[in-house]
A and B are shown apart, each in its own frame.
Chain A
C-alpha cells in the first residue's frame, strides 16, 4: 500500500506525510504539483495549507495543476483521494466533489477544536468509526463555509454523501455547533462512488497520544483497513 501526498507551493504536506510515515509506518511519497505520474499509489492525499497562497478563491489555482489532472483520472478509476482543509477546497474546485466553499460566515480565520458526527461509516475513510459517533477534531480555516443548493443536497443526503457534520459534544446538530455557516452543518462530503472524501477539519492533527487526542487516526486506519481487505479481494470501491 502506498500513499502519495500532493505538494502544491504553499501546502502543509509534511503533516500527513508524518502520520503515514512515522505514526502508521506505511509507505508514502510526496507528489510535486507538476508531476503527472501517479503509478503505484493507492491513495492520494491533498493536504491542508494555502496552495499558491490562495489569494484567489481557495483551491482554485491548485485545481488546475498537472497533478490534479492526473488525480481526476485516478479518482475516476476508483483510486482513493482524501482532501483535508485546503485539499477539500481543491477537490471542490476540481469538480471531484459537489458543492462550493465560501468564506466563513464570520469572515475570520478560526482555529479551534470542533465536534464532528460521523454520518457514514461504510466508506474507505470511515470504516473504523461507529455510525453516529462524535469525535473532537482540530479545525483551522477561513474559507470553510460549505454550500450546495437544496436539490443537490437532497440527492447527496439520499446517496449518503454527507460524511461529517459539525455538532455539539453531545452530538446535536445545532447552529451554535456550526463554526463557519456551512449548510446543514456539513464538515465533510464524499463522491457518489465513495472513493473521494473532502473534509475541512484536520484528522492528521489529532492522531498521536502526545498531542492529547487520537480521534483522527482512525481516518488513516480506515484507509489501511479498506485497502488491505480490498486488495486481497480485488474489489473496487462501491462496486
Chain B
C-alpha cells in the first residue's frame, strides 16, 4: 500500500521531530520508542506550543512553596500549613462520554493533589456548554454533572464552587475543567522526583488495561463528527479513595522519596518526568506490571490511561512497610523497577531490553513558535457602538430576562448534585461570590473561586484575560479574603491556526499583567488546545481558580442583604458600557463592542477597601458587579437575602446602560446607617469613589432614576422564582 503513513506519522510526530529523534538516538527508534516520543512530545504532555508563552507568568511570591512544574502548586497559609491546588481540563473525553469524561477529570486532579502529600479538602469546576435549547447539550450537561458528582461525592471531598457559561461555540466541544484543593503541612509536601539511584519504583492502585491508549494524542487533535473515541477511561472512585488513604498513610509515615500519578500518557509520562526532575535514570520491567487483561502489549502498557494508579519511589528498606499499608487498604502495589544513575530510560520485558533512550530526550521536547495573526473579527467587532440600539420600554421585563438567562440564573440544579458539606469545613458553599472553608484547629479560613469570561476573551483576549484574574480576585475580596495564588486552565482552539495562537498569546499577556498588578502568583495550570468542532473553535476560555486567605473565617460576608434599613453603597468608579454585555447578547442578540475598561490600580484599591470593611465588621454584605450589570447585582443581593430594596440611581444617559451595562472594579456593600460615614471615609482613604444608592427593606426591588421615576419594580419572590427556576426547567 503506497499511501500508508509511516508509524511515526500515525502516532502524531512530524517529519522534523522524527529526524530529530533519529539524530538524538543515532539510530531509528523502534516501535515502542517511537510511541514514547510521540506521547511525550505531544502538545498535551510537552506544552511544546505554549511553553514559551507560559514562561511569562509571574510564578514567584513570598507565599509560594511550589510553583508550576510539579503535580500541583503549593502556597503558604501560615502556621506551617499550605494549600495545594490545580485545575485540569477533561474536555475531549467529556464531549464523547460525558459521565466518565467528567468523572475521570475529577479523579485525575484529585490525584495531583494527594500526590503532593495533601489531603483534598475541596473541589470546584469550571464548565462551558452550548445552548440549553439543544437536547444534545442537555445530554452532555446532565452526564457531566452526574459524573462530577458520582466521582467527587464518593471520594469524600466537598465540591464547593465553580462557574458555568452557555454559548453556542461550545456546542460540540464542551469544557470541563476540574479544580482540587488540598491541605498539607509544609514539611509533609512530597514531590514527583525519582531521586536516589538504587531506590525502588513501585506501581500502586488499579491494574493496567488498554483503555485510554492515545488519550493525549486525542486531546491534541480537533474533534469532528467522525472522531472515534479511543476507549475513554472509566473511573472507579472507590479505588481512588482507597488509593488516596493508602498513599497519604505511606507519605505520612515518611516512606516516600517521590510520587506521581499516572495521568495523561500513563506510565510513560509519570516515570520519565520523575526521572527528568531528579536528573536520574530509570529502569522498568514491564513483565512485572499488573495487567487487567491478557494480551496487553508493552506499548499499550506504557500508554494506557487506566485510572487510579500511582507511581512511587521508595528506599529498599521501606518496601515491606509500604506494601503492608497498601495491603491494609486492599490496594495492589508492585515493585516494577529501580532508579539508576545513568540518565537512561530503559524498559525491559523480563531479560529483554525493549526500549533505551536518554531521559532528557523524552522530557525536553522541541519547542514550537507557532505563527500568530490578529483575526479579522477583532477590530470589526470592537468598533461597534450602541448609538442605534433602542432602549427597551419595559426595564422590569429586561431584568427578568437577564435573571432567567442561564448565564446569570441560579446554578442550583448543578451544584445541589454535588456534596458540598462533607468534611465539615464549608462555611460558605456554592452559589456565593466565593466559597469559604474554615481550617480546623485554627481561626483562619480559605476562600476559593473559579472564574472565566469567554465572551470578553473572544472580543478582546488580552483585556479579557486580565479581567478574568481581576474578577476572581474581586470575588475573593467580596467574602473578605486576600488572594494568595492562582491556577489557570487555558482552553483554546487549534494553535496551529495563527488567529487562535494570537488569542492564546494575548490572553496570556492579559493574565500576566493582572497577576503582576494584583501581586498574585500563578502556581499551577493546564493548557487545552484543539477545542474545535468541525473546524470551528470555541470562544477562547482561560479560566482561573484562585485561593484567598482569611485570618478569621468567622469574619466573612456574603452577597445576601441582611437587615431592613441598611444602607447600600457602591464602591468603585462606575463607568458602565453596553458593549460585550450579557444584556446586549440576551436582549438584542448581539455580541460586539469593546470589553469594559480595567484599571488595575483602581481594582487593587477597591478590593483592599472591601476587605478592610469586612475585617473591621463595617459591612454586612458585599457583591461584585458582573454579568448583567448593577441592576442584576442588586437583584441577586435581594434574592439571596430574601429582602427588598429601594434605590435611586444618580446617573445620566440611557437607562439600559447604567442598569445593565457592564463595568469592572465595582462592589455593592451594605452597612447599618450608623456606619455609613465610616464606610464612605474608608473608601475615600483608599482612594476610590463611593456612592450611596439606597437602602434595604420591604418585599420589592425598586429602582428609580435621579428624578424619582420608577424604572424597575418587582416583588423579590417573583425575581427569585425566575432566577431559581431557569436552568432546572430544562430538565
Ranked nearest first, the 7 interchain pairs of A and B with the lowest CB-CB distance are A53-B238, A140-B419, A50-B154, A138-B421, A12-B156, A205-B421, A111-B419
Which residues of chain A are within 8 angstroms of B419 by Cβ–Cβ distance? 109, 111, 140
Contact among A10, A55, A205, A209 with B424 in the assembled complex (CB-CB below 8 Å): A205
21 A-B Cβ contacts within 8 A? A9-B242, A9-B329, A10-B241, A12-B423, A14-B423, A22-B441, A49-B156, A50-B237, A52-B238, A53-B241, A55-B238, A108-B146, A109-B153, A110-B416, A111-B418, A138-B421, A140-B420, A140-B422, A209-B554, A211-B427, A212-B427
Chain B residue nearest to A49 in the complex (CB): B156
Q: Is A208 within 8 A of B242, CB to CB?
A: no
- A140-B330 contact in complex given A9-B242, A10-B238, A10-B241, C-beta closer than 8 Å: no
Asked if B417 is at the interface of the complex by the 8 Å CB criterion, the answer is yes
Q: Is B417 within 8 A of A110, CB to CB?
A: yes
Asked if B107 is at the interface of the complex by the 8 Å CB criterion, the answer is no
- A10-B416 contact in complex given A204-B424, A210-B438, C-beta closer than 8 Å: no
Q: Is A22 within 8 A of B440, CB to CB?
A: yes
A1-42 interface mask toward B, CB cutoff 8 Å, 1 = contact, 0 = none?
A: 000000001101011001100100000000000000000000
Asked if B149 is at the interface of the complex by the 8 Å CB criterion, the answer is yes
Which residues of chain A are within 8 angstroms of B415 by Cβ–Cβ distance? 111
Which residues of chain A are within 8 angstroms of B417 by Cβ–Cβ distance? 108-111
Q: Is A112 within 8 A of B416, CB to CB?
A: yes
Give the CA-CA distance A208 to B440 in the complex, in Å: 11
Q: Is A53 within 8 A of B153, CB to CB?
A: no
Q: Is A202 within 8 A of B421, CB to CB?
A: yes
Which residues of chain B are within 8 angstroms of A12 by Cβ–Cβ distance? 156, 422-423
- Interface positions, chain A 190-222, Cβ under 8 Å from B, are 202, 204-205, 208-212
Contact among A18, A53, A108 with B440 in the assembled complex (CB-CB below 8 Å): A18
Give the CA-CA distance A23 to B154 in the complex, in Å: 25
Asked if B179 is at the interface of the complex by the 8 Å CB criterion, the answer is no
Q: Is B421 within 8 A of A111, CB to CB?
A: yes
Q: Is A211 within 8 A of B426, CB to CB?
A: yes
Q: Is A9 within 8 A of B241, CB to CB?
A: yes
In the assembled complex, how far is the CB of residue B195 from the closest CB belonging to chain A, in whole angstroms?
Answer: 32
Give the CA-CA distance A142 to B150 in the complex, in Å: 10
- Interface size of A by CB at 8 A reads 31
B404-444 interface mask toward A, CB cutoff 8 Å, 1 = contact, 0 = none?
A: 00000000000111111111101100000000001011000
Asked if A48 is at the interface of the complex by the 8 Å CB criterion, the answer is yes
Give the CA-CA distance A197 to B691 in the complex, in Å: 55
Chain A residue nearest to B441 in the complex (CB): A22
In the assembled complex, how far is the CB of residue A178 from the closest CB belonging to chain B, in whole angstroms?
Answer: 15
Chain B residue nearest to A207 in the complex (CB): B424
Which residues of chain B are within 8 angstroms of A52 by Cβ–Cβ distance? 238
Q: Is A53 within 8 A of B422, CB to CB?
A: no
Q: Is B424 within 8 A of A18, CB to CB?
A: yes
Give the CA-CA distance A19 to B150 in the complex, in Å: 26
Q: How many A-B residue pairs have CB under 8 A?
A: 84
- Interface positions, chain B 241-286, Cβ under 8 Å from A, are 241-242, 245
Asked if B553 is at the interface of the complex by the 8 Å CB criterion, the answer is yes
Which residues of chain B are within 8 angstroms of A112 by Cβ–Cβ distance? 416
Give the CA-CA distance A52 to B237 in the complex, in Å: 10
Give the CA-CA distance A204 to B329 in the complex, in Å: 26
In the assembled complex, how far is the CB of residue A80 from the closest CB belonging to chain B, in whole angstroms?
Answer: 22
- A53-B154 contact in complex given A9-B241, A110-B416, A111-B416, C-beta closer than 8 Å: yes
In the assembled complex, how far is the CB of residue A211 from the closest CB belonging to chain B, in whole angstroms?
Answer: 6
Which residues of chain A are within 8 angstroms of B185 by Cβ–Cβ distance? none
Which residues of chain A are within 8 angstroms of B554 by Cβ–Cβ distance? 209-210
B435-456 interface mask toward A, CB cutoff 8 Å, 1 = contact, 0 = none?
A: 0001011000000000000000
In the assembled complex, how far is the CB of residue A180 from the closest CB belonging to chain B, in whole angstroms?
Answer: 12
- Interface positions, chain A 138-154, Cβ under 8 Å from B, are 138, 140, 142
Q: Is A140 within 8 A of B238, CB to CB?
A: no
A131-166 interface mask toward B, CB cutoff 8 Å, 1 = contact, 0 = none?
A: 000000010101000000000000000000000000
Q: Which residues in B have some Cβ–Cβ distance to A below 8 Å?
A: 146, 149-150, 153-154, 156, 236-239, 241-242, 245, 329-330, 415-424, 426-427, 438, 440-441, 553-554
Contact among A9, A54, A210 with B427 in the assembled complex (CB-CB below 8 Å): A210
Give the CA-CA distance A228 to B242 in the complex, in Å: 37
In the assembled complex, how far is the CB of residue A84 from the closest CB belonging to chain B, in whole angstroms?
Answer: 12
Give the CA-CA distance A10 to B243 in the complex, in Å: 11
Give the CA-CA distance A202 to B158 in the complex, in Å: 14
Give the CA-CA distance A212 to B554 in the complex, in Å: 9
Which residues of chain B are within 8 angstroms of A209 by Cβ–Cβ distance? 554
Which residues of chain A are within 8 angstroms of B330 by Cβ–Cβ distance? 9
- A50-B238 contact in complex given A109-B149, A210-B427, C-beta closer than 8 Å: yes
Which residues of chain A are within 8 angstroms of B422 by Cβ–Cβ distance? 12, 15, 48, 140, 205
Give the CA-CA distance A208 to B416 in the complex, in Å: 22
Which residues of chain B are within 8 angstroms of A111 by Cβ–Cβ distance? 415-421
Give the CA-CA distance A18 to B423 in the complex, in Å: 9
A85-114 interface mask toward B, CB cutoff 8 Å, 1 = contact, 0 = none?
A: 000000000000000000000001111100
Give the CA-CA distance A50 to B418 in the complex, in Å: 14
Q: Is B238 within 8 A of A9, CB to CB?
A: yes
Q: Is A50 within 8 A of B153, CB to CB?
A: yes
In the assembled complex, how far is the CB of residue A117 from the closest CB belonging to chain B, in whole angstroms?
Answer: 21
Which residues of chain A are within 8 angstroms of B149 by Cβ–Cβ distance? 108-109
Give the CA-CA distance A11 to B553 in the complex, in Å: 27
In the assembled complex, how far is the CB of residue A113 from the closest CB belonging to chain B, in whole angstroms?
Answer: 9
Q: Is B421 within 8 A of A140, CB to CB?
A: yes
Give the CA-CA distance A18 to B239 in the complex, in Å: 25
Chain A residue nearest to B142 in the complex (CB): A108
In the assembled complex, how far is the CB of residue A148 from the closest CB belonging to chain B, in whole angstroms?
Answer: 26
Which residues of chain A are within 8 angstroms of B150 by Cβ–Cβ distance? 109
Known: A53-B238, A110-B416. 18 other contacts (CB 8 A): A9-B245, A10-B156, A10-B241, A12-B422, A19-B424, A22-B440, A22-B441, A50-B156, A50-B241, A53-B236, A53-B241, A54-B154, A110-B417, A111-B415, A111-B419, A210-B438, A211-B424, A211-B426
In the assembled complex, how far is the CB of residue A201 from the closest CB belonging to chain B, in whole angstroms?
Answer: 11
Chain B residue nearest to A209 in the complex (CB): B554
Chain A residue nearest to B236 in the complex (CB): A53
Which residues of chain B are within 8 angstroms of A210 by Cβ–Cβ distance? 427, 438, 553-554
Give the CA-CA distance A140 to B153 in the complex, in Å: 9
Give the CA-CA distance A233 to B379 in the complex, in Å: 85
Which residues of chain A are within 8 angstroms of B154 by Cβ–Cβ distance? 10, 50, 53-54
Of B146, B236, B422, B426, most A-chain CB atoms within 10 Å: B422
In the assembled complex, how far is the CB of residue B595 from the closest CB belonging to chain A, in whole angstroms?
Answer: 36
Which residues of chain B are within 8 angstroms of A48 by Cβ–Cβ distance? 422
Chain A residue nearest to B426 in the complex (CB): A211
In the assembled complex, how far is the CB of residue A19 from the closest CB belonging to chain B, in whole angstroms?
Answer: 8
Give the CA-CA distance A205 to B423 in the complex, in Å: 8
Of B150, B237, B421, B427, most A-chain CB atoms within 10 Å: B421
Which residues of chain B are within 8 angstroms of A202 by Cβ–Cβ distance? 421
Which residues of chain B are within 8 angstroms of A205 by Cβ–Cβ distance? 421-422, 424
Which residues of chain B are within 8 angstroms of A138 by Cβ–Cβ distance? 421
Which residues of chain A are within 8 angstroms of B424 by Cβ–Cβ distance? 15, 18-19, 204-205, 208, 211
Give the CA-CA distance A233 to B239 in the complex, in Å: 47
In the assembled complex, how far is the CB of residue B97 from the closest CB belonging to chain A, in whole angstroms?
Answer: 18
Give the CA-CA distance A217 to B363 in the complex, in Å: 54
Chain A residue nearest to B328 in the complex (CB): A32
Which residues of chain A are within 8 angstroms of B156 by Cβ–Cβ distance? 10, 12, 49-50
Chain A residue nearest to B445 in the complex (CB): A210
In the assembled complex, how far is the CB of residue A44 from the closest CB belonging to chain B, in whole angstroms?
Answer: 20
Chain B residue nearest to A212 in the complex (CB): B427
Give the CA-CA distance A18 to B553 in the complex, in Å: 18
Give the CA-CA distance A209 to B552 in the complex, in Å: 13
Which residues of chain A are within 8 angstroms of B418 by Cβ–Cβ distance? 109, 111
Which residues of chain A are within 8 angstroms of B421 by Cβ–Cβ distance? 111, 138, 140, 202, 205, 211
In the assembled complex, how far is the CB of residue B524 from the closest CB belonging to chain A, in whole angstroms?
Answer: 26
In the assembled complex, how far is the CB of residue B144 from the closest CB belonging to chain A, in whole angstroms?
Answer: 13
Which residues of chain A are within 8 angstroms of B238 by Cβ–Cβ distance? 9-10, 50, 52-53, 55
